[in-house]
Structure 1
Amino acid sequence: MIISINKKAIIGLFILVSSIVGLLFERSPFDELVGIVSMLYVLILILLGKLSKEDVITVIVLLIVILIGVYSNIFSGIERSIYSIAIDIVAKIKVIFPFLAIKYFFNEKAKICLTKILQYPAKFYIITSFLCGIISLFVNIGMSSTSERYGLLGYRFIFNFDFQFLAVSMLAILCIVESNIRKKYKYIYYFMAGISLIFTTKSSPIIFSVLFILFCFYFKKRFYISKKTYFFILIIIILLGTYQIQTYLLNENAPRYLFFYYAGVTANEYFPLGAGFATFGSDEAARDYSPLYYLYGFKYLFGMTPDDGSFLSDNFWPMAIGQFGWIGAILYLYIFIRLYQSIYINKVLTGEERAFAYAGFLQSFIHAIGAAILSNASGQIMYIILGIVLSNKKSKSLEK
Structure 2
Amino acid sequence: MKIRIYKKGRNEVLFEIAYVVLIFQIALQSSSIQIISKIFNYIDDVIAVCCLLYVTLSLLAKKKCEKSDRRILYIYLLFVVTGIVGTLRLRIQPFSIWGLDLFTCSKFIVGYLSMRICSSRVNKDFLKKSVLSVTRFMVLIYFVFAIHDEFMSPFFGIFDHRMFGKSIELFYPHPTYLAAACIVFLLILAVTCDRGNNYIYMIMSSVIIIFTFRAKAIAFVAVFWGLYLMIEVWKIKNKLIYATVSLLLAGYLAYDQFATYFMSKTWSARAVLFADAASIAKKYFPFGAGFASFGTNMSVVSYSPIYYQLGYNQIDGMSKNTAAYLNDGFWQACLAQFGVLGVVAFIILILFLLKKTMQYRISDVGAMRYFSMLSLNVYLIIASIGELAYFAPYALLYFIVLGIIFDENDKIVSENRRC
C-alpha deviation, 1:49, in angstroms? 4.4
In the alignment, which residue of structure 1 is the partner of 2:389? 373
Specify every segment of 5 or more residues in structure 2 that has no aligned partner in the other structure, as ranges: 31-39
Structure 1 position 219 matched with structure 2 position 231: yes
Q: Report if the CA contact (8 A) 2:176-2:212 is conserved.
A: no
Which of 187, 197, 213 is residue 209 of structure 2 equivalent to?
197
1:59 aligns with 2:62: no
Contact 2:358–2:374 under 8 Å retained in 1: no
Q: Please show how residues 295-310 of structure 1 align to structure 2 within 5 Å.
A: 295-310=309-324
Which amino acid in structure 2 is aligned with residue 381 of structure 1?
Answer: L
- Kept in 2: contact 1:143–1:157 (CA 8 A): yes
2: CA distance between counterparts of 1:147 and 1:2?
40
Maintained 8 Å contact 2:7/2:129: no
Give the letter for the 2:229 counterpart.
F
Partner deviation per Cα, 1:31-88 (whole Å, 9 max, x = no partner): 2233333233233443414111221122122122222212111212x53111111110
Aligned to 1:91: 104
User: Partner of 2:377 in structure 1?
Assistant: 361
| Conservation of the 8 A alpha-carbon contact between 1:69 and 1:323 | yes
Matched residue, 2:262: 249
Which residues of 2 match residues 1-400 of structure 1 at below 5 A?
A: 1-24=4-27, 25-26=29-30, 28-47=41-60, 48-76=62-90, 78-106=91-119, 110=123, 112-179=125-192, 181-183=194-196, 185-220=197-232, 221-222=235-236, 225-226=239-240, 228-251=241-264, 253-347=267-361, 348-394=364-410
Read off the aligned partner of 1:127 and give its amino acid letter.
Answer: L
Would you say how many aligned residue pairs link Structure 1 and Structure 2? 394
Is the Cα contact below 8 Å between 2:122 and 2:404 reproduced in 1? no
For 1:371 and 1:3, how far apart are their aligned partners in 2? 37
| Closer/same/farther in 2, CA of residues 111 and 159 from structure 1, 3 Å limit | farther
When the two chains are superposed, the root-mean-square deviation of aligned CA atoms in Å is 2.4
> What is the Cα deviation at residue 341 of structure 1?
1.7
Secondary structure class of the residue paired with 1:146: strand
TM-score (norm 2): 0.86
* SS of equivalent to 2:307: helix
Are 1:116 and 1:179, in contact at CA under 8 Å, matched by a contact in 2? no
Identical-pair percentage: 21
> Secondary structure of 2:239's partner?
coil
Partner Cα separation in structure 2 for residue 116 and residue 150 of structure 1: 39
> Given residue 78 of structure 2, which amino acid in structure 1 is its aligned partner?
I
Once the two structures are TM-superposed, the CA of residue 106 in structure 1 deviates from its matched residue by 4.2
**Alpha-carbon spacing, 1:232–1:299, altered in 2? closer, same or farther (3 Å):** same
Matching residue of 2:35: none
Question: Please, what TM-score do these two structures have when normalized by structure 1?
Answer: 0.90
* C-alpha separation in 1, matches of 2:349 and 2:206: 29
Identify the range of structure 1 (236-245 vs 41-50) with the bigger mean alpha-carbon deviation: 41-50
Where 2:158 maps in the other structure, the secondary structure is: strand
Cα deviation, 1:349-377, whole Å, max 9, x if unaligned, reads 22101111111111011111111121122
| Cα deviation digits, residues 271-328 of structure 1 (max 9, x gap) | 1110111111111111111111112121121111011211111111110100111111
Question: Aligned letter for 2:385?
Answer: I
With 58-67 and 358-367 compared, the bigger mean Cα shift is at 58-67
Q: Is the contact made by 1:8 and 1:105 (CA closer than 8 Å) also made in structure 2?
A: no
Moved more, 122-131 or 172-181: 172-181
User: How many Å separate the matches in 2 of 1:322 and 1:211?
Assistant: 30
Report the Cα offset of residue 95 of structure 1: 0.6
CA distance change for structure 1 residues 20 and 127 in 2, over 3 Å: closer, same or farther? closer
Residue 224 of structure 1, CA deviation: 5.1
Which segments of 5 or more consecutive residues in structure 1 lack a partner in the other structure?
none
Instruction: Give SS of 1:171's match.
Output: helix
Between 264-273 and 300-309, report the one with greater CA deviation. 300-309
Task: Describe the superposition over 1:89-126 as per-residue Cα deviations: whole angstroms up to 9, x where unpaired.
Answer: 00111011201212332469546244334333322322
Judge which range, 366-375 or 128-137, deviates more: 128-137
* Deviating more after overlay: 11-20 vs 94-103: 11-20
Q: Distance in 2 between matches of 1:390 and 1:383?
A: 10
Counterpart residue type for residue 71 of structure 2: I
The question of whether the paired residues in 1 share the 8 Å contact of 2:132 and 2:188 is answered with yes
Return the letter of the residue paired with 1:392: E
Distance change in 2, residues 1:235/1:386 (3 Å): same
Cα separation, partners in 2 of 1:239 and 1:71, compared to 1, 3 Å: same
Give the Å deviation of 1:394.
4.3
